[in-house]
Chains A and B, each alone.
Chain A
Amino acid sequence: MADLTTNFLGIKSPNPFWLASAPPTDKEYNVRRAFEAGWGGVVWKTLGSEGPPVVNVNGPRYGAIYGADRRLLGLNNIELITDRPLEVNLEEISRVKADYPDRAMIVSIMVPCEEQAWKDILPRVAATGADGIELNFGCPHGMSERGMGAAVGQVPEYIEMVTRWCKQYYDKPVIVKLTPNITDVRKPAAAAMRGGADAVSLINTINSITSVNLDTMSPEPSIDGKGSHGGYCGPAVKPIAMSMVSEIARNPETHGLPISGIGGVTTWRDAAEFISLGCGNVQVCTAAMTYGFKIVQEMISGLSQWMDEKGYTSVEEVVGRAVPNVTDWQYLNLNYVAKAKINQDDCIKCGRCYAACEDTSHQAIAMSEDRTFTVIDEECVACNLCVDVCPVENCITMEAMQPGQVDPRTGKVVEKEYANWTTHPNNPGAVAAE
């Protein structure tokens, strides 16, 4: 079984699965249960400044999006940072860390954008013995209206400034958690790096309304007939999170900056994908909130099995393996030609590929009287829609054409050489190949 021990910023944990700062990590009781279940680390739910505790709504905090059989695909929330007294949280953090020295304990913090506020809280967090801090610059609801959370994360200058204060007044690793509610995630990441951040973590939740109650005309979750946008997370946000992670990983300015990946990690496979895109570990929330802490067992066994099968001996070996293959569209090989192929033995004759192709794509699938579906190579542009809508995995595959073969659609010979848009004759800005 592969060794999953992870060293992230010098913080060791028995596996790369941390619980993200969120309701599951709001108190000692939960965190102890998480560690007993096998989680490698936790990011304690965000602490605020000393003073009257934060208040939450007293109605629904969560809204959901479902797939078949009410499988939860997306969750949003309007919960704020911890609503428990600062001192209580700090005491609990100290106790739990002392009892679980081998687990990562990170404390999430969100205080006003004033140097004194950070100067006040950082020594108290340091005194808990926690392994590091995470700056919550991402929370998109409630706190952002008060100039914190995403309101900071959307202004690179603030990120840099606050990060610098933290590095000044705290001597352990500082992770900056980024909001996805921006246009270009590379900017806040670079700002965090300039401020001295040891790592970034992303994504925080996405502004969202999960549904509207059509009887009351109130967005959900509804509080007395009104709703506010919440933060969206869960499996549905994974593609967005992975794209943002990859942008930071391959941006020359931030390349090499450690990343803690967050956003819809539900299975070991999701985790492996985030890690391959440059994450040193992953943080999980929705999956735990949906299924309980036990899911980490599957994540551990799955990642180990896959690493064994691939011959990887440490998580570190996997980190960033896919990053070199993330590129811009203009560098994709336009000489690569594929065709869809339907395996007739696996086909169950539902005809969804036909409907999708005939109605919405390229009319490249033929349907016979006896419901045999075949690809018309002369029309197929290999768009992959048939593969995506087919209910049977691997029934339809994309088969690459070999150099020298003639593409029946274009009548052109498939070239062996790589050629992209930058040199394409149709590109007015093409640069002649040398």
Chain B
Amino acid sequence: MSSPMTPGITAARLPAAELAKNFGDLHAPFAPHEAAVAADRCYFCHDAPCITACPTDIDIPLFIRQISTGTPEAAAKTIFDQNILGGMCARVCPTEDLCEQACVRELAEGKPVEIGRLQRHATDILMAKQRHPYDRAPETGKKVAVVGAGPAGLACAHRLAMHGHDVTIYDAAAKAGGLNEFGIAAYKSTDDFAAREVDWLLGIGGITVQTGVRLGEGISLGGLSESYDAVFLGVGLGGVNALGSEGEDKDGVRDAVDFIKELRQASDLAALPVGRDVVVIGGGMTAVDAAVQSKLLGAQNVTIAYRRGREAMSASTYEQDLAASKGVRLMFNAQPVAIHGNGAVREIELEYTADDGSGLKGTGETVRLRADQVFKAIGQTLTTDGGLSLAGRKIAVTGAGRTSHSGVWAGGDCASGGDDLTVTAVAEGRDAAMDIHATLMGSN
């Protein structure tokens, strides 16, 4: 067995029991009494700021009141009516930047109502019931293709199926779920929740999932447009940006998303290798997820190097603090210039940066960090545009996800506008579904 001190990239740095503990629920579910106490704190605000802050507009005061009056199932319906992936969002939403930031108790005392955990409480209870809580409308005879089985695609498909449409979801991966399944830190989606949630969602009926099918390989947008009455693209961002540094091709340098994916799919965490000295390049959620999980796997030293200052970091303050609390070092204003090593990475050379108002520039001063593993987490890119017009580096959409092609909608990370969050993707998928429904049924 290895230890955190073992040099190189190796597996089993920590005992199985410690790994299990490290990768357990980040926030344990509420016990019923805890939920009651937490729910009692909600003021049932008028035109509540938390609702406004929620990209899916969940009626939060109502669902919390439903919990406090002993009907968590009704609470869950309130949530799912707006956000069918309310279970996952309860786990992964940056609530500290959304509903809980807007909570008046955050303003009043710096301690918001724990909306995320209450949402999980309610959704867990309803999802544990045998029957899917929604019924399909009579079949319309309309067929819709959804490309991408991530949050946007799933939300879109469910809403369409509910309205009686026949939906086929295509996904390039071997499993449905998208980033919920492959791209989120394991401690946020324990006990195979992402897969269970997909199964539960498909319980609505009327949705066929075809995995292992990639747009541009076997299916094309043109072909889908011919075969289906409407197409929704929720393909996400499949590509990863390169560092552009010397030595980027050395062994031990890889994309953070691949590491996270591998970790999520691992049946035995002790078999998963990780470096002794890990450096993660980037400043977003992916960087934090990769860094924290490296640490939890037993890496001795983990550093996040971000080229700008803390205030510019897209990972929330909460996520930064989480990383720091797990022992991850946060290094700001440092950008990679070279990766050194004979075949495999041994050190990474970073240059300090400063912004005097004319843009970020290297100062010329460099520092070398020991590194036997380097994760790149500097953003993802669209890999398939299907010939649609782009806005910036994403598929251009207007209104409820309408693309430049009639009959083709898009939503989630691949589409322009919105934050790249699960909850935003759900909202976009849902809204596109309603627009597709209205269009197909001739009421638009």
Contact = CB atoms under 8 A, between A and B. Distances in A.
A321 interface: no
Contacts of A351: 45-48
A95 interface: no
B65 to A, nearest CB: 12
Given A348-B104, A348-B105, A350-B104, A70 B46 contact: no
B46 A350 contact: yes
B49 interface: yes
Name which of A348, A355, A392 has the most chain B CB atoms within 10 A of its CB: A348
Given A354-B46, A391-B43, A348 B36 contact: no
Contacts of A145: none
A348 B36 CA distance: 23
Contact of B45 (A68, A69, A352): A352
Interface of A: 68-70, 348-352, 354-355, 367, 371, 391-392
Chain B contact patch, size range: 10 to 19
Interface string B93-134: 000000000001101100000000000000000000000000
A350 B40 contact: no
B37 interface: yes
Contacts of B318: none
A348 B108 contact: yes
A349 B104 contact: yes
Contacts of A70: 36
A346 to B, nearest CB: 9
Contacts of B108: 348, 391-392
5 contacts: A68-B40, A69-B36, A70-B36, A348-B105, A352-B46
Contacts of A69: 36-37, 40
Given A68-B41, A351-B48, A355-B46, 5 more contacts: A69-B37, A349-B49, A350-B104, A352-B43, A352-B46
Contacts of A355: 46
Contacts of B49: 349, 371
Interface of B: 36-37, 40-41, 43-49, 104-105, 107-108
B107 A348 contact: yes
B36 A349 contact: no
B44 A352 contact: yes
Contact of B43 (A350, A367, A371): A350
Contacts of B47: 351, 367, 371
A389 to B, nearest CB: 9
A350 B36 contact: no
A168 B403 CA distance: 98
A257 B104 CA distance: 50
Contacts of B104: 348-350
Nearest to B46: A351
A352 B44 CA distance: 8
A95 B158 CA distance: 77
A350 B46 CA distance: 6
B186 to A, nearest CB: 34
Nearest to A389: B43
Contacts of A371: 47, 49
A352 to B, nearest CB: 6
Contacts of B105: 348
Nearest to B102: A349
Nearest to B108: A348
Contacts of B43: 350, 352, 391
A23 to B, nearest CB: 26
Nearest to A68: B40
A354 B49 CA distance: 14
B37 A350 contact: no
A352 B76 CA distance: 24
Nearest to A373: B46
A348 B46 CA distance: 12
A68 B44 CA distance: 13
B107 A349 contact: yes
Name which of A350, A351, A355 has the most chain B CB atoms within 10 A of its CB: A350
A135 B142 CA distance: 82
Nearest to A346: B108
Contacts of A392: 108
A3 B41 CA distance: 40
B35 to A, nearest CB: 12
Nearest to A67: B40
Contacts of A68: 40-41
